[in-house]
Amino acid sequence: MKIRLLLSALLLLLGLNVLVGLRVLGAGNAGGEGADNGYDNIAVLTRAMQLIRQDYVDEKKTNYRALTYAALRGMFNSLDPHSRFMEPRELKGMEDDTKSEFGGLGVTVTTHDGMLTIVSPMEDTPGFHAGLLPGDQILKINGEATEQMELPAAIDRLRGEPGQKVTLTILRPSNRQIKDYTIERAVIKVASVKDAKLLDAKLTGGTKIGYIRITQFNEPTAAELGQKLDTLEEQGMQALVLDLRNNPGGILEGAVDVCGQFVGPNTMVVSTEGRVASSRKVYKTSADAKRRPRYPLAILINGGSASASEIVAGALRDLNRAILVGETSFGKGSVQSVIELQDGAGVRLTTAKYYTPSKQVIHEKGIAPAIRATMTPEQENLLILQRRETGLEESDKKQLAGFHDTQLERAADALRGIVLYAAVK
């Protein structure tokens, strides 16, 4: 009813000229090719909706809400892979994501070169345990091809009630193999900070080097990280490896608060710039950020490190607080503003780009490491297998027995050198 009244009010607002113009627009162009007249083009949209309502063969598909939502989806999908229109249930699902508990498979997806692609499977989730890998391309969902499928529609098909199964047809670019994975959906509870420990003395040469892995950034991440750091500092930690490999990102505030664990209060860690003044912002660490010892810090990144991971890595690099080790990150550095509409639906609109403290752009460029340490696709697969912890077959265990995390080894070597150098100065 609201939409019907809105359309009626719109027609009254446009007046007699537009009403007359509607008759012409059915056969002509609104103001000529390239014209950007709002009234004329809204009239085209209104006329198209009128024709569908009046003449389309299947009346069940012609209600105002369905047509309006379809038009909005098309508008946002035409902008970039990250802007989208969300129906009320989609908006709620996105809000649940940031609270670290939601239903689905536990994979972050995007469109890359026209293909529905997995950025990273979240740890301890059905997708992770099934063996999905970063870079895997989803060709089909329950037999339905994804080639022409819009990203919101694909995400909607991946989600579902816990206990339901979904079959994904996966193309793995590293070996060009196509395989079906049948995975049972579950309620996803994400522990964002994992594996806090002191590394084995055999790897560090006796230097007490801590290790913490962040799987994604959400509301409790910084608090969880602070607790782990407290424990490691009590154990005499002299340096730290922060592992952000295959971390797909999360919420901006979580990234800023994590930076606050390593730099002083009120320190600028990231800025945003867009078309309008309101999108130009500077984000600083909290004035109440805890002051910690300035021990050497190495951050591990790779092609699966995206968004908030890149903000943390870029900020701590630019602030001379950390050395980056690994491979160039994914390059997702744009800001999406989420706005709720009157009926409970919402829009996610790209409004700005992220910039590191030295004004380096992240989007489509990524963050490059100071110490480049690459892994083969086979090694990357073993790294993810190593993190799986449960459900390993004997063949998996044999492969892992000879696996060396070369990126972690390079980071530990660098930190050990820094600690030894500081000791003899």
Residue 287 zone, left/alpha/beta (φ > 0; ψ -120 to 50; rest): alpha
Q: Is 332 a catalytic residue?
A: yes
Catalytic residue among 140, 194, 228, 332: 332
Catalytic residue among 83, 100, 305, 307: 307
Q: Is 208 a catalytic residue?
A: no
CA angle, 326 then 130 then 110, to 5°: 60
List domains and CATH numbers for the chain.
Answer: 2-62 (no CATH), 101-189 (2.30.42.10), 193-424 (3.90.226.10)
Instruction: Tell me how far apart the terminal alpha carbons of the chain are, to the nearest angstrom.
Output: 76
Q: Is 318 a catalytic residue?
A: yes
* Helix pair 151-158, 88-98: axis angle to 10 deg: 70
pLDDT in tens, the chain (425 residues): 444 444 444 433 333 333 333 333 344 454 555 567 888 889 999 999 999 999 999 998 999 999 999 999 999 989 988 888 988 877 876 666 555 555 689 888 888 888 999 987 887 789 988 889 888 999 999 999 998 888 878 888 898 888 999 999 999 988 889 999 999 999 877 779 999 999 999 999 999 999 999 998 988 999 999 999 999 999 999 999 999 999 989 888 999 999 999 999 999 999 999 999 988 999 999 998 888 999 999 999 999 899 999 999 999 999 999 999 999 999 999 988 889 999 999 999 999 999 999 999 999 899 999 999 999 988 988 888 888 766 667 777 888 888 999 999 999 999 999 999 887 76
Catalytic residue among 318, 329, 334, 405: 318
Between strands 334-340 and 346-355, the pairing is antiparallel
